[in-house]
Amino acid sequence: MVDIAELQRIVGQDWIITQREQMESYLRDETVLAERPAAADNVVVVKPASTEEISSILKLANRKRTRVYPRGGGTGLVAGAVPTQDGIVLSLERLDRVEEVDKENLMVVVQAGVTLADLLKAVEAEDLLFPPHPGDEGAQVGGMVACNAGGTRALKYGVVRNYVKGLEVVLPTGEIVNMGGKLLKNNTGLDLMHLLIDSEGILGIITKVIFRLYPRFASTATLVISWDDRHAAIGTVPKILQSGVIPLALEYVERDAIEVSAEYLGLKWPPARGTAHLIIIVTGSSEDDVYSQCQQISNVCQEHGAVDTLIAERKEEQAEILKIRSEMFSALKSRIADALDIAVPPAEVANFMDAIDRVAERYDTSIVTYGHAGDGNLHPHLMVDLQQRGILEQVKEEIFREGAKFGGVITAEHGIGKTRLPQLDMMLDDKSKELMKGIKKLFDPNNILNPGCAIV
């Protein structure tokens, strides 16, 4: 049972929602409708203002065995923040302060409820760069760390994990623990901080983060290179990387799907030719540096059968291409029953896509696939017809099995959350599962924090 009177005492009357009709937006995330689990009936939403209040809430919840669901921006795609059992939704939205942009150490200290949009604004105002960019800027810092978010820029700069240098965490038992600091090297004891990164809200509530920053890039350009043949397009990816250029982003899209997004936005997809495209973002220390990287990429692509090369240098042109790419999920969402998030070794991307095509043919459906080709991370979209025909789960499992044959995994960046739990056994051996459950028990002896998520 949720002790509402005691919660009110901790956070104040104005910061609790108990009426169902006022909390609807806290009961879901961005998981596609067909896959999103229903929220439990008896839920209250609590909005603490400080780490100390969160500590008091968790001490109370642990004593009363009340379940607690940490919630960031609610942009997750695997229902991680959805309260599937009675309990408390703990929203981090009021911990929204950028505490310090430390130019000397190239670090930023932020409360967990700061959104990606506000983080970028604060950092860029100081002419600095926070490199990772998962697609929705409404995501909060705590959610990005809890999910170890990736995004298009991971190819050159890596995922969020690479930037976390310190964390403040409230444990399910209420203790406040600090991990790491403004340090580039730290080998002190076991690395609990990296255990918390990607823990999907099951080990502790992240309340503050220290991120490493970089100087802003001086110049950027975006190329869209087109082929008439998927294998030729994807086969060129390793050749580009072997040539010595590491682009900021290297995305694979097909004309049919990206034109849906362009139309959804009332824009036109710029390339006139080709059915298979690589979108490549290049960054550098000067315009000359960027120009020479573009030339190098363009030469490699011409040698490997590209039929068209478009180089966008103006900011607006680049932004438009990126917008069309970023909105693909939103444009297709109403037709999607599930959007998968599979990683395979980068050199297997084209073979894996062929395997997906064979599954689509076997089940007489179309599977739209695009993604972060340079990272080997694809997002095959399964359409609603599969759900209507009652074969969605079967097709999904077949694609997961095909991915596993190439040495792949069932999630690259979105996480397991609540929607991928049924397939976790395909990926983990018994000993790994036992170790993970043991760690969960150590942090959360009464299993109050986000049960039914990530591992059990």
Ligand X SMILES: Cc1cc2nc3c(=O)[nH]c(=O)nc-3n(C[C@H](O)[C@H](O)[C@H](O)COP(=O)(O)OP(=O)(O)OC[C@H]3O[C@@H](n4cnc5c(N)ncnc54)[C@H](O)[C@@H]3O)c2cc1C
Residue numbers at the binding site for ligand X (CB under 6 A): 29-30, 69-77, 80-81, 92, 112, 134-136, 139-140, 142-144, 146-147, 149-151, 200-201, 205-206, 329-330, 413-414, 450, 453
Give me the phi and psi of 259, to 5 degrees please: -70, -30
* Residue 28 C-beta: closest distance to ligand X, Å: 10
Q: Which is nearer to ligand X, 58 or 359 (CB)?
A: 58
Q: Which is nearer to ligand X, 51 or 309 (CB)?
A: 51
User: Do 203 and 177 form a contact (C-beta atoms < 8 A)?
Assistant: no
* Residue 229 C-beta: closest distance to ligand X, Å: 26
Cβ count near 105 (within 10 Å): 15
Q: Which is nearer to ligand X, 7 or 154 (CB)?
A: 154
* Residue 435 C-beta: closest distance to ligand X, Å: 20
Q: How far apart are CA 121 and CA 103, in angstroms?
A: 15
Q: Residue by residue, what is the 3-state secondary structure of the chain?
A: CCCHHHHHHHHCHHHEECCHHHCHHHCCCCCCCCCCCCCCCCEEEECCCCHHHHHHHHHHHHHHCCEEEEECCCCCCCCCCCCCCCEEEEECCCCCCEEEEECCCCEEEEECCCEHHHHHHHHHHCCEECCCECCCCCCEHHHHHHCCCCECCHHHHCCHHHHEEEEEEECCCCCEEEEECCCCCCCCCCCHHHHHCCCCCCCCEEEEEEEECEECCCEEEEEEEEECCHHHHHHHHHHHHHCCCCCCEEEEEEHHHHHHHHHHCCCCCCCCCCCEEEEEEEEECCHHHHHHHHHHHHHHHHHCCCCEEEEECCHHHHHHHHHHHHCHHHHHHHHEEEECEEECCHHHHHHHHHHHHHHHHHCCCCCEEEEEHHHCEEEEEEEHHHHHCCCHHHHHHHHHHHHHHCCCECECCCCCCCCCHHHHHHCCCHHHHHHHHHHHHHHCCCCCECCCCCCC
Q: Which is nearer to ligand X, 153 or 274 (CB)?
A: 153
Q: Which is nearer to ligand X, 81 or 383 (CB)?
A: 81
* Residue 358 C-beta: closest distance to ligand X, Å: 27
* Residue 110 C-beta: closest distance to ligand X, Å: 11
Q: Which is nearer to ligand X, 348 or 375 (CB)?
A: 375
Q: Which is nearer to ligand X, 29 or 35 (CB)?
A: 29
Q: Which is nearer to ligand X, 227 or 329 (CB)?
A: 329
| Residue linked to tokens 């959350």 | 417
Q: Is 364 left (phi over 0), alpha (psi -120 to 50) or beta?
A: left
* Residue 30 C-beta: closest distance to ligand X, Å: 4
* Residue 322 C-beta: closest distance to ligand X, Å: 12
Q: Which is nearer to ligand X, 25 or 242 (CB)?
A: 25
Q: Which is nearer to ligand X, 161 or 304 (CB)?
A: 161
* Residue 389 C-beta: closest distance to ligand X, Å: 26
* Residue 445 C-beta: closest distance to ligand X, Å: 18
* Residue 454 C-beta: closest distance to ligand X, Å: 7
What's the one-letter identity of residue 345? P
